[in-house]
Structure 1
């Protein structure tokens, strides 16, 4: 009875697991069902537990734990071990035929694992077939392989690509003839030829209008025959190549444009290979090689250098060896022309130099111009040196002239001033008037000599200043005092407005007063009798700002830009009426700018003139 009860448990376990196999349930559910049913077939089912490990996935009963009382069976699929079935007792169990288990229980486990392996093998094959079918459908639907046709040229299958090209539903295409979609008479002959003339492959391109638009298609036809005498059908691939055709046309246009541009270049362009053979060229301005000779890809040194062998060193070989751009010039002994050669490397896919492009330009005329220009430059350099020598002689002459004139002028001025002061006796009014004129004219002549010498030395920046801290008011008052007698002669009022506090600047105590003497002298010169001259100074934005203002004849606006040029006179009438040498404003500008300042003029014709001077201010 115990044996019968044991066999009954085993049969119930086998039947329940067989039901799971026949139900085609998912694999995970199948394995969980097997695990939960196996313990019931054991002798001591109340303390039995099971586990299945398959492809690193574990399925086990809720009470499973590893114990010493166990039995394990391999799960083999297609000859490969993919897992294990393990049966354990949770409590100590006496030793039986197979560990703590009976032989019958071992046979039952082997039978279950064997059946499970076959089920897994079948499901693996089914999954592979399903995957293959899915892949086939995906490939067919997404590929340009458009249709299958039978031996009569009737379409039996088509994919989305074909539907998209023609814009038709599937039901309008299946059952239609292939010739309704392929505009090619030759294909009809291919489809209905005799068995001996069946082509292994046929390809054609043609244009059609679909939905009113021109479309360019390419068709491939591969016939299928079951025997040498029977045509069973075929596969037809129809692809829309409109875009690629347009790209080819655009590329061809670009190629033609590039060729036209290449041939239109006035310079000679040559493509050379590593053996120095001419691969291609526009052959511009090259008459020493015939069109027939060009077809044989002659050497570049033969065509353009007119040599029997390469130059040493060869500028083209240097490009191939170094990868650097090279330049050289060469005068041909054949035609006497000088040409400039520039060679550029052409890199291949592996970044190696496969070709060289040589740019050749006729520079004969340019070289001639450069030679003439070089000769002119040398002549100008010599002329410049001569001018420098003349300028030096001029400076020396002016310096000597000033020295030679100063000696008698100093004597004349000295004795004149002694006579003026009555050192040699009392003068009558006529004598006093005459001696006054002599003294004034000698002073003006001395000032003129100083101005000429300054204009000469300042041009080369050779004026030497002795900068020191001085008060601006001292320079202004010195100028006012020196020019007061001159102002009195014309009954001109000299007014000045200077700040009470000291305003200081870094300046030369001899040269800076000369600026204000020149400005006041100009103001007196161009101010009518009984006029007014105002001289003011103030501090402004870290600078000293002085203004000499008169109510004289004024200056026209178009004459203002040229006033500070050396020896400049507004017009000849001014020279005759007012005198002057045109150096006063020039000298003033040089001195002020050498002191780091600025000078400018504001004037209105018939109203008057303002001369502005700014200098850097310093603290006490």
Structure 2
């Protein structure tokens, strides 16, 4: 038997017989030693029994526990040998010659007989039981005289007979196991043969099933003449049927190749396709070419008398008939039949061939339609794959972008909402695509931004929206950029809205504004005191001062005025940034404003030796605006012109009526502004020369304030000019403001492009 077979058999015997027998030997031995000894229980016997019990427990754990599949083959024979030595140990403590424990050797012999079919070498172990019995008695009495005792001889003979009986049983078991193994092997071979035959039958049944399906598919394809059959095969079937109907004559089909303008023979009965190479004629040449060109049939009884016939090959041809293949009123080919006999065809044959021509035309039309559909399908699949790749890329971008993105249709039904937008609005469940956005988000400001974008397709709408505080985050401020999704004709198909978190930016701006406001107010009070005391000293109320002191104090007063102007700009910036200043709209005359500004700044211009004038006429058009703010704009522009114009320069305030708007400009002959800096000069705190040693002082807020005032009046401001020629600051304003009575200044944002003119 195989190694696995022997191991499995030995372990099975050990579990069923060996382990229970070992525990029985332990109990019998312990009871026998206890009842035999008349003195206190010997320590050696107790130790030996304890060791044997531990051994029995270990073997039981190994053969019954989860490791039984990993127990080695030699464990059972080794355990049997240990059992034999344990009996040898117990005989001296259980009476020696008179001990009945020698009968346990017979039990072990029976176990060896059961194990013999799986471990033949164990058969030699029972032959050692007699000597082991003698050794056990000798260890008890330390003499061999017991060999002459009749009682011992009788016991020994009984043991010997039992061992022989066990060996006989082993021989019988071996024969039985050999017979059983032979039957198992035969049964296994028959099972393998049966499985092989079953597998063959299954493959045969599968092949038959596949063959039936193939035949059925072929039958259906022939019945329907569908697009799965090639055009050449269809034409071959038609010419074969036509040949049978026309008494076995040779038939052929030629089609018009529109690309080359030739008539090409594609199928002929009894002729392989490769033999048709070269069978092509220009339209109008040959019988088939004439039929296609004239869309009329031809019946020729003797080809030698007809100039339309052109001979090809060596096959004899005497008569021929040909009919056109008509599709949508046009000839797309011809079907012909030839015979080696003259006058072989009749008008009836011509009519019969025309019927096949109709069938051929339908087949060609279907085949070409299939080819077109297949080509369009390939193109569509390619386009779809390209669109799918772009869609996957866009989806990945939208899922990974740090801003919230929402996409809706023109009815504001949700199309897409990325994870950031879900988190912004605290949507707990998965967004319901295709349903109104208001059901998922319900944010009025957001819905208003989207409606505003739909109202002006193609123009982005930028607004700030606030998201109320939730359990997950405090109140947040987002910049919402909404724009429409254009369709193929430019119409709006939906709205895309991007939400960018500007909460931190707003908080920083508010902190900066608060800081500027506090610092400006704190500086203004001591400056008033300084200026007041300087004025008192200059008036001589504190005593007489000399010229040098007067000159120093005048410088202090001048610098104090300049510092007050800077502080005033900072305070103005703080007020504008708070968004609390409302515009007082009224009819404003720029002629009056320009005159007041020129009069107010004339001393400053004269001191700088600069000519300042206004060319705006007294009857210049009026506009709806805040007079104070317009004067502030013009004052800032003229003040800047004075500051950057050298002595001997000139500043001109000019106005132009543009119909529904007015244009105001301030031109100077100063140092000019580089082209790269002209857009930046309107930014807050920006200065062209920002160095610490720059000759021109200021906060960099004047032009920024002008920009916000003008654009909140629905106007626009810009600068022109070149460096050698100075600069021209221009701003344009509408004459009439829609909703102007409710306008307010908010320095934090600019009006949308659509609101500016």
Which TM-score band applies after superposition, normalised by the shorter structure?
0.3 to 0.5
Which structure has greater helix proportion?
2
* Higher normalized strand content (fraction of residues): 1
